[in-house]
Amino acid sequence: MSDIDIRTTGRAGRITLTRPRALNALSYEMCMAIDTALRNWREDDEVDLIILDAEGEKAFCAGGDIAELYATGTKRDFGYGQKFWRDEYRLNAQIFEYPKPVISFLQGFTMGGGVGIGCHGSHRIVGESSKIAMPECSIGLVPDVGGSLMLALAPGRLGEYLGTTGYRMGPGDAIYSGFADFFIPQEHWPELIDLLEASGQTELIEEHSAPAPDSPLSNMQQDIDKFFGGESLSDILNSLRNADKEFSTKILDKLHRNSPIAMACAVEMLHRLRGAGLTLQKALDLEYRFTFRAMEHGDFLEGIRALIIDKDGNPNWQYADLDVPAVAISKMLQPLGADALSFSEE
């Protein structure tokens, strides 16, 4: 497949995304190729670890390839999108639960679907150019591909902030918030990959790591916890509106651009997930409830139209006044019954 290069080199299973002109956007076929490779290598004694990387300087993977999702959805064919998200989420779970080390090198943009394949492994490496984000609410989706798990585990109320605003994390932010593990200057990545391929030893990663850069998010933590501490999107908006701060004004501007139903459901999801019972499968199940309905009942198609297709930047959101009824949130997140996400390998 020209969009992805899968091979075995030395002791490593190697997966390289090879469509840099498209910012290595992840197609359904690419997801399935990764899924098959991981299943083959799981029982292969010649493979000690997996290395995920990508060609180009701009992006590891800037998200899923949504062109086909939009084309089918606008024809009222919702089955393709439901299949895409179902199988993509199962791949995310496989990476998270993989019995061998999965090492990802996350240069440039890592967003949406890129987070799903790049941020669930055992060793997540960022460099100077890394920009990690969950911007789904801007196109009418909730943070998905298991991203809601990391948002729920992030310090304080960072999850609500990152999930609703789509804030782009630099390398220090990514490590601080739990989306990455190691900072290694990018000039050292080729040498490290060669050593990993030859040795199969993950200890080399820590030996090459450097102190993480400063995290602007950590300096914003107190304000974020204050303004995003409410139980709902309405509580967050009221807190921001009643504040006399430049910080809150800028955030309100960002929130007014995004899908209200998506943001409200994102906040609700994080509140449901936090606690002792949190697992990736639980997070993916909740995400799938929303994405399963996103084309027919949510803002997804309108978000894609406004930001990607027509590029008018003027989406006609549901609940444009940001007053999202609780019943609308419940409907988007209610169990799917027979259509619920399954993690069976059959």
**Pair 220, 204 in one domain:** no
**Pair 179, 255 in one domain:** no
The answer as to whether 77 is a domain residue is yes
- C-alpha to C-alpha distances, 247 to 176, 177, 229, 240, 331, nearest whole angstrom: 20, 20, 15, 9, 33
Both structure tokens of 226: 């204050």
Residue 12: per-residue pLDDT: 98
As a dihedral over the C-alpha atoms of residue 135, residue 1, residue 189, residue 162, rounded to 10 degrees, the angle is: 10
Q: How far is residue 35's CA from residue 56's CA, in Å, rounded to a whole number?
A: 23
The answer as to whether 61 is a domain residue is yes
Condensed to tens digits (0 to 9), the pLDDT of residues 159-179 reads 999 999 999 999 999 999 999
The answer as to whether 262 is a domain residue is yes
Residue 275: per-residue pLDDT: 85
- C-alpha to C-alpha distances, 299 to 34, 203, 204, 263, 269, nearest whole angstrom: 29, 45, 45, 11, 17
Q: Which residue, chain included where needed, has tokens 């990802």? A: 104
For residue 65, name the pLDDT band (cuts at 50, 70, 90): confident
The string of DSSP codes covering 145-186 is: TTHHHHHHHSSTTHHHHHHHH-PPB-HHHHHHHTS--EE--G
**Pair 47, 124 in one domain:** yes
**Pair 222, 314 in one domain:** yes
Mean pLDDT of 212-228: 96
**Pair 63, 170 in one domain:** yes
**Pair 223, 130 in one domain:** no
Tell me which residue range forms the domain holding 321. Answer: 216-339
Beta bridge partners of 17: 4, 54
**Pair 135, 259 in one domain:** no
Instruction: Give the max Cα distance, the chain.
Output: 61
Intra-chain end-to-end CA distance of the chain, in Å? 25
The answer as to whether 37 is a domain residue is yes
Mean pLDDT of 227-250: 93
**Pair 137, 185 in one domain:** yes
The answer as to whether 160 is a domain residue is no
Q: What is the CATH number of the domain that holds 105?
A: 3.90.226.10
Domains in the chain: how many in total? 2
Q: How far is residue 285's CA from residue 279's CA, in Å, rounded to a whole number?
A: 10
Q: What number of helices (H) and strands (E) belong to the chain?
A: 16, 9
Write down the mean pLDDT value for the chain: 96
Mean pLDDT of 75-85: 95
Q: How far is residue 308's CA from residue 282's CA, in Å, rounded to a whole number?
A: 31
| Number of residues in the chain | 346
Residue ending a domain, among 208, 236, 267, is 208
**Pair 248, 229 in one domain:** yes
This prediction's pTM: 0.96
The answer as to whether 324 is a domain residue is yes
Residue 1: per-residue pLDDT: 55
Residue 66: per-residue pLDDT: 86
Which residue in 173, 185, 343, 166 sits closest to 256, CA to CA?
Answer: 166
Asked whether the predicted pLDDT for residue 61 surpasses 90, the reply is yes
The answer as to whether 196 is a domain residue is yes
The residue type at 320: A
CB atoms within 10 A of CB 304: 22
The answer as to whether 147 is a domain residue is no
**Pair 110, 199 in one domain:** yes
* Residue/partner pairs of 37-45 with CB below 8 Å, 24 or more apart: 37/6, 37/13, 38/13, 38/91, 38/94, 38/95, 38/98, 39/94, 41/8, 41/13, 41/100, 42/98, 42/99, 42/100, 44/13
**Pair 114, 238 in one domain:** no
**Pair 20, 102 in one domain:** yes
